[in-house]
Structure 1
Amino acid sequence: MAINSTGIHQIQWRDYYELTKPRVVMLMLLTSVIGMFLAVPGMVPLDILVFGNLGIAFCAGSAAAVNHLVDRHIDTKMARTSNRPIAKGRVEPTKAIAFALSLGVTGMFILLVFVNALTAWLTLISLLGYAVIYTMFLKRATPQNIVIGGLAGAAPPLLGWTAVTGEVHGHALLLVLIIFAWTPPHFWALAVHRKEEYAKADIPMLPVTHGIPYTNLNIVLYTFILLAVSLLPFATAMFGWLYLLGAVVLGFGFVYWSFVMLIGKKPNAGMETFKYSIIYLMALFFIMLLDHYLIEV
């Protein structure tokens, strides 16, 4: 009996952990942490590094849990999401609401008390943008859902920057702009791969409403936009030649995969492009960090 109780406890713990979309939050925190380091010439204060990212993580996890809750009915219709905790009935909706609220309130408390009010309110706006504006409205309303709603997911480097400096800076907004331009080709590549599932769930993703060729063309156009936007930090002297080289190489890598999708001869091109897009963003931000400290030295 004790073994069963322990097993149930472990399963529930994993289910609540899954509600926070940990892999998505980890990518957000990577950009938040790097945003903090880019805001200062030396070391980020340890308390800000810890409490800032903890508060952001709690709020992001809260928004993710709301996403699970709101999408529970459509999640059952998609293979990718059918085993999610709420969709499968392993976590009750009322408990998910309580969990999301507790995470959000805790995150806001941490940011307000241990970081600064500007970061707290910007984080709250980002949370509401994803959990309410995108999840509850845009996702079901327009094929441009991910373009408009992507701004909420682009906020972490700005949040990291304001956590350290207490102010919004133009350089931080360039980081937001890069993620904002990156989000559509990143997500549309997955949407192409999962088109039939989105159609079954009646979600108006671009491949469902306008077809795969049109979506692939948009992915190509957005990768060129992303390439241009990614050069702005060099043009504004935020970074040097190392960053420029990295941005160009990584950017043309993304352009290559977008053309692979456009040509349409590789069956799994959508998922391969989606995976590359994640590598692209992680690598680009690591190169930013490297360039930042090499210049300082």
Structure 2
Amino acid sequence: MLKKYIFLTKPGILFGNFVTTLGGFFLAAQGSVDILLLLLTLLGTTLVVASGCVVNNFIDQDIDDKMERTQNRALVKKTIEPQAALIFATILGISGLSLLWFFVNAYATGFAVLGFIVYVCLYSLWSKRTSIHQTVIGSISGACPPVIGYTAVAHEFDVAALLVFLAYAIWQMPHSWGIAIYRFDDYKRAGIPILPVARSIFRTKVESLIYVVLFAAVLNGLYCFGYTNVFFLITFNALCAYWLYLSIIGFKAENDQVWAKRYFLYSVILITALSISFSFSYQSPAPHLPIF
């Protein structure tokens, strides 16, 4: 039974957000890592994200029943009662926000609340079912964890935090569309108006290419504003160059699903490598360019 509750939290998503939170923290820490603060930030963020994922499972029961990859989830199979899932989500959410509020800071807590509200209300309850712009809306919640990590250390929202927020939001467009092309039939069967289904796979490839270029341009701002060093400049652009290459060869792919799976998996590798590289990429002393 415990295993079923763990899978309700979507461990893959938890890992992804764990890594991006780590990246934001490393960038702000400038090589001086407070281990206790890091652990509390990671734990608090993970619990809030887990809460949102459980609520998303509750909301998406009807959709999940139509999709091959989700039709065996516990709430679909009724092996966990919906009321029990909501209680579980509430405990996770309150625990995570309490940790961030009492042991981290108000900035981290605020962005955790923002991410939760966007993911549950604006994405899960509304745009996922009704709007082609669902990915853009959902990207806001996905961009919050690295900012939580950053502000946990910085105690302010500055230019670096803004660039990280924008870049991680932009990254999610080609990342999510890669999944959607790979699982095209699932999304179509469930009636989800994501870009490849609502428009076309070709248009999705065009927009994905544009967003990869935007992602590279925005995050290179960290170097331009003096927050990162040459190691970051070289490493990040090498990673982006290969993602750009995958975007281009996608137009000649003989099998869109095979290409999309490769494209999606590389996006995960890229964001993981990027987040870890921040532990070596800082520029000391960092500039002080606060926004609020």
- TM bucket (normalised to shorter chain) is over 0.9
State yes or no: 1:155 paired with 2:141.
no
State yes or no: 1:250 paired with 2:239.
yes
Measured in 1, the distance between the counterparts of 2:283 and 2:227 equals 12
Q: In the alignment, is the contact (CA less than 8 A) between 2:118 and 2:137 conserved in 1?
A: no
Counterpart in 2 of 1:39? 28
Measured in 2, the distance between the counterparts of 1:131 and 1:263 equals 37
How far the C-alpha of 1:294 sits from its partner, in A, is 8.9
Say which one has the larger Rg.
1
Counterpart in 2 of 1:5? none
Query: Structure 1 residues 289, 46: CA separation in 2 closer, same or farther (over 3 Å shift)?
Result: closer
Q: In the alignment, is the contact (CA less than 8 A) between 2:41 and 2:104 conserved in 1?
A: yes
Measured in 1, the distance between the counterparts of 2:245 and 2:215 equals 13
State yes or no: 1:92 paired with 2:81.
yes
Measured in 1, the distance between the counterparts of 2:205 and 2:23 equals 31
Query: Structure 1 residues 95, 180: CA separation in 2 closer, same or farther (over 3 Å shift)?
Result: same
Deviations for 1:38-88, whole angstroms, at most 9, x for unmatched residues?
Answer: 213343323311212111111000000011110111101111111111112
Counterpart in 2 of 1:273? 263
Q: In the alignment, is the contact (CA less than 8 A) between 1:260 and 1:266 conserved in 2?
A: no
Query: Structure 1 residues 42, 260: CA separation in 2 closer, same or farther (over 3 Å shift)?
Result: closer
The one of 103, 120, 125 equivalent to 1:114 is: 103
The one of 274, 277, 291 equivalent to 1:287 is: 277
Report the number of matched residues: 285
Q: In the alignment, is the contact (CA less than 8 A) between 2:226 and 2:283 conserved in 1?
A: no
Question: Runs of 4 or more off by more than 4 Å in structure 1?
Answer: 293-296
How far the C-alpha of 1:293 sits from its partner, in A, is 7.3
TM-score, normalising length: structure 1: 0.91
- Counterpart residue identity of residue 20, structure 2: T
What is the Cα-based RMSD across aligned positions, in Å?
A: 1.7
* Identity over aligned pairs, percent: 31
How far the C-alpha of 1:257 sits from its partner, in A, is 1.2
The one of 28, 39, 54 equivalent to 1:65 is: 54
How far the C-alpha of 1:271 sits from its partner, in A, is 0.7
Any stretches of 5+ residues in structure 2 without a counterpart?
Answer: 287-292
Counterpart in 2 of 1:190? 179
Q: In the alignment, is the contact (CA less than 8 A) between 1:250 and 1:280 conserved in 2?
A: yes
Measured in 1, the distance between the counterparts of 2:277 and 2:156 equals 24
Counterpart in 1 of 2:14? 25
Counterpart in 2 of 1:222? 211
Paired residue secondary structure (2:73) = coil
Measured in 1, the distance between the counterparts of 2:151 and 2:278 equals 18
Counterpart in 2 of 1:3? none
Measured in 1, the distance between the counterparts of 2:191 and 2:74 equals 21
Deviations for 1:218-245, whole angstroms, at most 9, x for unmatched residues?
Answer: 1111111112223111111211211111
Deviations for 1:158-186, whole angstroms, at most 9, x for unmatched residues?
Answer: 10122223221211221111111100000
Paired residue secondary structure (2:282) = helix
Paired residue secondary structure (2:212) = helix
Measured in 2, the distance between the counterparts of 1:192 and 1:38 equals 33
Counterpart in 1 of 2:164? 175
State yes or no: 1:75 paired with 2:64.
yes
Measured in 2, the distance between the counterparts of 1:265 and 1:223 equals 22
Which stretch has the larger CA shift, 55-64 or 16-25? 16-25
- Counterpart residue identity of residue 61, structure 2: R
How far the C-alpha of 1:295 sits from its partner, in A, is 8.6
Q: In the alignment, is the contact (CA less than 8 A) between 1:189 and 1:274 conserved in 2?
A: yes
Counterpart in 2 of 1:232? 221
Query: Structure 1 residues 64, 202: CA separation in 2 closer, same or farther (over 3 Å shift)?
Result: same
TM-score, normalising length: structure 2: 0.93
How far the C-alpha of 1:197 sits from its partner, in A, is 1.0
Measured in 1, the distance between the counterparts of 2:93 and 2:158 equals 26
Query: Structure 1 residues 226, 41: CA separation in 2 closer, same or farther (over 3 Å shift)?
Result: closer
Paired residue secondary structure (1:148) = helix
